[in-house]
């Protein structure tokens, strides 16, 4: 297809200049190159496009017919380019976004109406998953993820941090007692992510060194939202990010436990997208909006 576009470009230039040499000068190439491209085009079409004499170069009847079609192709190309230029001023189209349910509910839901009001031609589709999914395979434009980003082909821009904490409801602690040491967790119902998950082992510290604990409980899930719901209901202790339980901690529905054993380090939160080259207007508009909102009030989750 690229060769055909090149042939079409040369053909149009020759018809404008009425000379192979003049066309070559305007295209900054050798006259022999122009001649070869026109010859190749004629061979492929199996017609002669130009009458050639030592003094005159003019279109044949077939050449005039081909010129009409060539102009239609050029007009369609200009229309397509102008359409893209117009979308730069006003982003439009469908943007597919991936995150966890809780992050979408508690962090994005309050501000997405503002984004859509700014860009009335936009539609946002939320693909909510408990675990990261393949952006390319699922046609995802933008995602928000925390922790390590193993796929080096993705662009990851740090926009915030969060901290993981052990917590339980006041009703559970009133019934089961408040743990005061890491050993006490052996006697509590520790609800957790499914075995094999990076989060299924709890990392705490005993005052000097990190300690990895394999805890047990009667509920396991790949969903942070489900674990949070059971914790609020008083079923047991969970280890979750402030993205998941920040609102519950602020409202008193959950309270921290073993705070002095919690890891002090923050975990980065990234906005992730497949490429930073030639971003579509809709993706650029959404990235700029997220950056604005995180800078304004989401510095730490």
* pLDDT of 299: 42
d(CA 253, CA 130): 22
d(CA 248, CA 178): 18
Ranges of the chain whose pLDDT falls below 50: 1, 297-301
pLDDT in tens, 20-32: 888 888 888 888 8
Sorted by where each starts, the structural domains of the chain and their CATH numbers stand as 2-89 (1.10.10.10), 93-159+271-297 (3.40.190.10), 164-261 (3.40.190.10)
- Strand pairing report for 122-128 and 192-193: unpaired
Over residues 189-236, the pLDDT tens digits come to 999 988 877 677 888 887 677 888 888 899 999 888 899 999 999 999
Task: Output the DSSP codes for 184-205.
Answer: GGGGS-B-EEPTTSTTSSEEEE
pLDDT at residue 30 in the model: 87
b/e per residue 258-297 (b: at least 16 CB within 10 A)? beebbeeeebebbbbbbeeeebbbbbebbbebbeebbeee
User: What are the residue ranges of helices labelled H in the chain?
Assistant: 2-17, 20-27, 31-45, 61-89, 101-103, 112-118, 170-176, 224-232, 242-251, 281-297
């Amino acid at each position: 297809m690229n060769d055909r576009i090149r042939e079409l470009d040369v053909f149009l230039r020759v018809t404008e200049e009425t000379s192979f040499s003049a066309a070559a000068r305007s295209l900054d190439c050798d006259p022999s190159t122009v001649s070869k491209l026109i010859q190749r085009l004629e061979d492929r079409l199996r017609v002669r496009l130009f009458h050639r004499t030592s003094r005159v170069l003019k279109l044949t009847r077939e050449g005039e017919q081909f010129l009409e079609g060539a102009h239609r192709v050029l007009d369609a190309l200009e229309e397509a380019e102008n359409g893209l230029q117009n979308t730069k001023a006003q982003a439009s189209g469908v943007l597919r976004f991936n995150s966890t349910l809780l992050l979408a509910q508690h962090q994005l839901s309050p501000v997405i109406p503002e984004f859509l009001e700014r860009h009335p031609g936009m539609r946002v589709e939320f693909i909510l998953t408990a675990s990261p999914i393949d952006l390319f395979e699922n046609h995802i434009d933008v995602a928000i993820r925390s922790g390590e980003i193993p796929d080096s082909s993705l662009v990851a821009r740090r926009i915030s941090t969060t901290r993981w904490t052990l917590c339980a409801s006041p009703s559970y602690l009133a019934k089961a007692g408040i743990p005061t040491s890491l050993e006490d967790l052996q006697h509590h119902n520790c609800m957790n992510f499914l075995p094999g998950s990076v989060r299924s082992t709890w990392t705490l510290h005993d005052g000097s060194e990190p300690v990895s604990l394999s805890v047990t409980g009667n509920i396991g899930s790949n969903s942070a939202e489900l674990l949070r719901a059971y914790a609020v209901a008083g079923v047991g202790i969970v280890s979750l990010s402030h993205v998941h339980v920040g609102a519950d901690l602020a409202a008193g529905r959950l309270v921290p436990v073993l705070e002095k054993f919690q890891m002090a380090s923050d975990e980065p939160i990234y906005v992730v997208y497949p490429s930073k080259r030639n971003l579509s207007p809709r993706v650029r508009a959404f990235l700029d909006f997220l950056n604005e909102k995180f800078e304004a009030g989401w510095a730490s989750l």
